[in-house]
Amino acid sequence: MASYLAFMAHRDDELNIAGTLMRLLADGHRCVVACITNGSRGGLYDRPEDERKRIARAEFGASTEIIGCETRWLDINEHDFPKPEWQIEARKRIFETLCEVDPDCLILHPGPPLPQYDYHEHHWLAAQLPYAESYSASNPNYARERGLKEMGGVPPIYHMCPIGTPMVPDRYVNITDYLDRKLQAAECYESQMEFLADHDRINFVEVHRAQSIVYGSYCGVPAAEGFCTSPAWNRLVAEAGLPE
């Protein structure tokens, strides 16, 4: 059994890989989704910040319960995440999560060393910070001074292909049998459906359905999710990988 750890900038970003997580879980693997930010600025303009955060966490919990994965809630304010002083705190929490989970494989947003990022600054940071910390967290000299057990090695990385970004994957996962459950998980995000319909003029659930169908058409199945493998040295392991 392998252990997969996915870092998400926001609650709802896990939907980009929900079908893959379900497949991995069905095959007996461990899957953990760590959400870095807490929904402090995620729509719901007429609600106080504490209520926005409470709703975000509840929706994340409902979605990931349908998926069946473990979760970690790193609880960084969205409006603080880009600030250098808060990135120090985010790095600390990411490092601790890496050492605790000790993943065999990481799943991240698109970011360095890929030539293309996606559309959101939080996503860039949610790719870069775990990427950097996952190297240090495998080094006993970094982990043990914090009273932590270092990771067993430097994990290979897959970058998810998110909605709204025209990326060409180099790996596909057939999620045909899990598409309905993926969309059921998406429907947990009532606050996001309202916000994205107003702010970005999209149907949140149907966009996820459409992207799954499009990626499926690329690889000859009804529905799929796409990934880009990290091209960096020591991030690829021949015997590790996502399901076919």
> What's 148's domain CATH number?
3.40.50.10320
234, part of any domain: no
Rounded distance, CA 45 to CA 198, Å? 11
List pLDDT tens digits, range 139-178: 999 999 999 999 999 999 999 998 877 788 999 999 999 9
Per-residue confidence (pLDDT) for residue 201, from 0 to 100:
87
For the chain, what is the domain count? 1
Count the Cβ atoms, other than its own, within 10 Å of residue 231.
13
List pLDDT tens digits, range 5-55: 999 999 999 999 999 999 999 999 999 999 999 999 877 788 899 999 999
| Ramachandran assignment for 186, one of left (phi > 0), alpha (psi -120 to 50 degrees), beta (any other) | alpha
74, part of any domain: yes
DSSP letters spanning 43-92: S-TTS-HHHHHHHHHHHHHHHHHHHT-EEEEEEE-TTTTTSHHHHHHHHH
Per-residue confidence (pLDDT) for residue 64, from 0 to 100:
98
Q: Look at residue 3 and give its three-state secondary structure.
A: strand
243, part of any domain: no
Per-residue confidence (pLDDT) for residue 239, from 0 to 100:
58
Per-residue confidence (pLDDT) for residue 167, from 0 to 100:
85
Rg (CA), the chain: 17
Average pLDDT, the chain: 92
Asked if residue 137 has pLDDT above 80, the reply is: yes
List pLDDT tens digits, range 77-135: 999 999 999 999 999 999 999 999 999 999 999 988 887 777 889 999 999 999 999 99
Per-residue confidence (pLDDT) for residue 241, from 0 to 100:
64
Domain around 184: 3-229
240, part of any domain: no
108, part of any domain: yes
* Residue 244 pLDDT grade (very low, low, confident, very high; cuts 50, 70, 90): low
Say how far residue 47 (Cα) sits from the centre of its chain.
26
68, part of any domain: yes
Annotate 152-193 with three-state secondary structure. CCCCCEEEECCCCCCCCCCEEEECHHHHHHHHHHHCCCHHHH
Location of structure tokens 């890989």: 17
What is the chain's length?
A: 244
210, part of any domain: yes
Burial 17-44 (b: 16+ CB within 10 A, else e): bbbbbbbbbeeebbbbbbbbbbbbbbbb
Asked if residue 193 has pLDDT above 90, the reply is: no
The β-bridge relationship of strands 157-160 and 70-76 is: unpaired
Asked if residue 240 has pLDDT above 60, the reply is: no
Question: What's the token pair of residue 235?
Answer: 């991030």
* Residue 233 pLDDT grade (very low, low, confident, very high; cuts 50, 70, 90): confident
% of the chain surpassing 90 pLDDT: 77
